[in-house]
């Protein structure tokens, strides 16, 4: 049956299959490139940071004015916690803006918390708009017009920076080159809350301790992560200010600034604890926004990057960086083309000289796993179980992210959907049935059964590999979140 279906459009499927495979190979081997860059450059880079800090003592004679912005929208579970954290920042020339676009009970929480700190002498105020034009970017831009500060620190509502964050970040603007932004590392308030947060923590650690550090140390473009960082106001203005026409205003501003010659510094020792999405629906919402926004930025910056005078390797790395979520589209293309494998790929098992190809495919497939492992190693952790969970979470998220990427290609921005926060609540905020992941699980398992009957073991193993991630998300929801939803 399968063979009869695919023969009629065999050339189309073959080209699609080859391109998807090439995309996955590129992504997998790029992970090893990140590890190599980090190994080769990180020690020297971190030494420069330490030297700058030694030459720029925290006790300054003159302190530049620093504005701290906290954008909030309908986040009653975490608003007070975030305001308490920024109000405790130890810096003499500080101004705090709570940019509250809320329409629910968050308004009362913000007003009460801000009033309490103002009574204690903290220079803090609430700014509210009558609209949400530009979403988070619009709020940041509006607040910036009401301050003369030379530097701007930004913290989302789920972040709790320490008192020394500003004092530790400011010296790094003296790093060589024109430093536009200093990005801190996210740590985790609720890492051990459940298996989902454990898996996410591994992925976030890998992003910062391997990818961000490798790019910063290697001289490539990197991005401000939207929070837990500080900008030089001059760089924001020269780059054209905050814009709300993509879902990732942080990535957009980062590339505009770097294309003008500015530099972003990442310091892994500059940390800010944050809350990880505690439910599957919250995690998927966050990933959809990141995937859609990143591809919007890729469309915008592909031309300017390649028409610039940057070295070719910087252009290539920027392209891979901007298009990172396309790996989810490639992954889903291979999943949907598994029926094609039933009709045509068994022949590959009869050619022994193709064994280097299969080895290359499996080595590339383990690239993200190696990055996650090393991210934990750099923290002195060796919890293989959590790394495997992160790997499965990445596989299982491909369908959700692939759809978001396709939306970013064809649909303009309509609304900014915030990630639901839990705060100190015991139960999940909300959880939805992962219908898409359950459908993908059933589809891939059916293909595994059919492949096993025809014995193309290499293809069957790959199909099972694809199915594992969908099985993890579907089973996690049934075993962990569904009981809490119905309780």
Active site positions, annotated = 101, 250
Cα(336)–Cα(343) distance, integer angstroms: 14
Phi, psi of 122 (to 5 degrees): -80, 130
Round to whole Å and give the CA distance between 211 and 222.
9
For the chain, the three-class secondary structure string (H helix, E strand, C coil) is CHHHHHHCCHHHHHHHHHHHHHHHHHHHHHHHHHHHHHHHHHHHHHHHHHHHHHHCCCCCCCCCCEEEEEEECCCCCCHHHHHHHHHCCCCCCEEEEEEECCCCCHHHHHHHHHHHHHHCCCCEEEECCCCCCCHHHHHHHHHHCCCCCCEEEECCCCECCCCCHHHHHHHHHHCCCCEEEEEEEEEECCCCCCHHHHHHHHHHHHHHHHHHHHHHHHCCCCCCCCCCEEEEHHHHHHCCCCCCCCCCHHHHHHHHHHHCCCEEEEEEEEEEEECCCCCHHHHHHHHHHHHHHHHHHHHHHHHHHHHCCCCHHHHHHHHHHHCCCHHHHHHHHHHHCHHHHHHHHHHHHHCHHHHHHHHHHHHHHCHHHHHHHHHHHCCCCCCHHHHHHHHHHHHHCHHHHHHHHHHHHHCCCCCCCCCCCCCCCCCCCCCCCCHHHHHHHHHHHHHHHHHHHHCCHHHHHHHHHHHHHHHHHHHHHHHHHHHHHHC
Tokens of 384: 């293989």
CB-based contact 221:317 (threshold 8 Å): yes
């Amino acid at each position: 049956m399968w063979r009869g279906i695919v023969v009629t459009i065999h050339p189309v499927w073959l080209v699609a299959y080859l391109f998807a495979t090439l995309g996955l190979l590129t992504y997998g081997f790029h992970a090893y490139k990140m590890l190599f860059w980090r190994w080769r450059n990180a020690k020297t880079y971190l030494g420069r940071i330490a030297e700058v800090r030694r030459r720029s003592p925290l006790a300054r004679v003159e302190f530049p004015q620093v504005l701290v912005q906290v954008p909030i929208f309908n986040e009653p579970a975490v608003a007070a916690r975030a305001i308490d954290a920024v109000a405790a920042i130890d810096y003499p020339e500080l101004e705090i803006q709570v940019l509250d676009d809320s329409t629910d009970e968050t308004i009362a929480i913000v007003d009460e918390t801000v009033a309490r700190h103002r009574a204690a002498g903290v220079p803090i105020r609430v700014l509210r708009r009558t609209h949400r034009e530009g979403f988070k970017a619009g709020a940041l831009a509006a607040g910036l017009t009401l301050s003369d500060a030379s530097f701007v620190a930004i913290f989302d509502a789920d972040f709790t920076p320490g008192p020394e964050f500003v004092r530790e970040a400011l010296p790094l603007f003296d790093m060589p080159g024109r430093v536009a932004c200093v990005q801190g590392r996210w740590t985790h308030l609720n890492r051990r809350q459940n298996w989902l947060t454990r898996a996410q923590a591994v992925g976030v650690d890998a992003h910062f301790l391997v990818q961000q550090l490798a790019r910063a140390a290697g001289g490539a473009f990197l991005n401000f992560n939207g929070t837990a960082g500080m900008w030089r106001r001059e760089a924001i203005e020269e780059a054209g200010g905050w814009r709300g026409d993509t879902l990732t205003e942080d990535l957009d501003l980062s590339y505009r600034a770097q294309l003008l010659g500015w530099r972003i510094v990442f310091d892994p020792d500059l940390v800010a604890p944050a809350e990880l999405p505690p439910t599957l629906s919250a995690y998927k919402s966050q990933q959809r926004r990141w995937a859609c926004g990143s591809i919007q930025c890729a469309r915008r910056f592909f031309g300017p990057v390649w028409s610039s005078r940057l070295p070719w390797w910087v252009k290539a790395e920027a392209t891979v960086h901007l298009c990172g979520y396309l790996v989810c589209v490639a992954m889903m293309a291979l999943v949907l083309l598994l029926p094609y494998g039933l009709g045509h790929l068994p022949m590959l098992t009869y050619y022994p000289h193709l064994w280097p190809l299969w080895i290359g495919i499996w080595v590339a497939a383990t690239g993200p796993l190696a990055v996650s492992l090393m991210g934990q190693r750099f923290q002195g952790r060796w919890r293989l179980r959590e790394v495997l969970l992160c790997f499965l979470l990445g596989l299982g998220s491909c369908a959700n992210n692939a759809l978001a990427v396709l939306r970013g290609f064809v649909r303009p921005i309509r609304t900014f959907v915030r990630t639901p926060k839990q705060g100190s609540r015991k139960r999940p905020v909300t959880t939805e049935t992962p219908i898409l992941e359950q459908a993908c699980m059933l589809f891939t398992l059916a293909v595994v059964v059919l492949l096993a009957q025809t014995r193309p073991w290499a293809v069957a193993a790959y199909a099972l590999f694809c199915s594992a991630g969908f099985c993890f998300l579907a089973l996690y929801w049934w075993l962990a979140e569904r009981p809490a939803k119905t309780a």
